Structure 1
């Protein structure tokens, strides 16, 4: 299963509110549980990150109930920054509404202006780590946290900040219900780009400090205590160490096609 939830405090989809019950969860393995009170509102617009994480636990407890025991969850998550909230006079402070930007001056009502309080113990401009908060809470809830894949963006949205780099990635967490689960490694293999003939071995007992490129004739020979197995094809470029079907997928998922902004969407980003 693949899921991309609304990111905390970044976008108002203009949807009807929902009634969220009280929820108790453990924020990280080894920590004491916390309880979040009942709340009425839209997912992603909670006043605190703790409440948002609690609501994520409610969602994924239902996912756990429906997912096969050998199933996996691929969770796409972006992060947020701590701020002092949204003031009524921030006329030029733009916010998302659906897939389009909507400034406070254009907003028809307060529902278009996501408000949130300053997270406890965090300073303005702090990276909240909301993606990892959810991942660790899921881990404490019983999920196997297997990988923090990187969703790399070749053309990230510009950001109106001058004291840090522009964020160009999100996370694609791989989580599983069981220790043994279905994972189609062959379906996502990457093509091999180098082998030992082009990359060369580093010096050692096997190569005596030489690579195949500078060995006489370019053929494999016995080096140190290593013996060439009988039947090996020792011609350069004809065998190598790269598996013929490709290499295992790395944990970096890059978007292959650059995305263009939607009509009427300015190339601007919400400040910290």
Structure 2
């Protein structure tokens, strides 16, 4: 990630795939989402995915080294990683990895009380990367057991009530807006103890595509699978897919969600 500026505390600042095979992940996401890749500033095990020449996400060949499953992780900006990690523990969450020094910042990988994995980052971020605009993901969605309990947890960790963050409760979901733009949605209904990891609490990353059906076909041709068949949600066509190593993500034709 190239250093450019500070992100507002508690706002989404990056998404990254923790993978076990960087080359295979590049081939898959290149075929499905049309991404190209360049090496980032964190070493040969990391790269930055580009959409139309602009950074969209990071990929890191670190899942096995960290002892975690392959997954997409959403990162939120914090002023102090140690303070945020302490808040996670105080509220019943788990700090799995970190704070670790990467480049010019520090990263933490954690899990909320229901087991959804997320990250936070202390440091500078890309200037033009913003959820819902440009090449960045369309939005983030936490599917969890109880969205209101989750809002209390994340609001406490990231101090949403003391920042310029608008947290609204609408139609049984929690909407997170920054500067008037929806950046995340917290939705209930996930099953914490489900044997199928696909329906357990998790943060879902939504990537924009021109055509959902074509993206699904490309994913299957590249060795991926379909988690949720193409359909029309309240915001437009979407489908949830799984890469060959188990990384789950959603494709959508909508500009932004929730």
Give the TM interval when normalised to the shorter protein. under 0.3
TM-score, normalised with respect to structure 2: 0.26
Between Structure 1 and Structure 2, the one with more strand by share is 2
TM-score, normalised with respect to structure 1: 0.26
Between Structure 1 and Structure 2, the one with more helix by share is 2
- The structure with the largest alpha-carbon Rg is 1
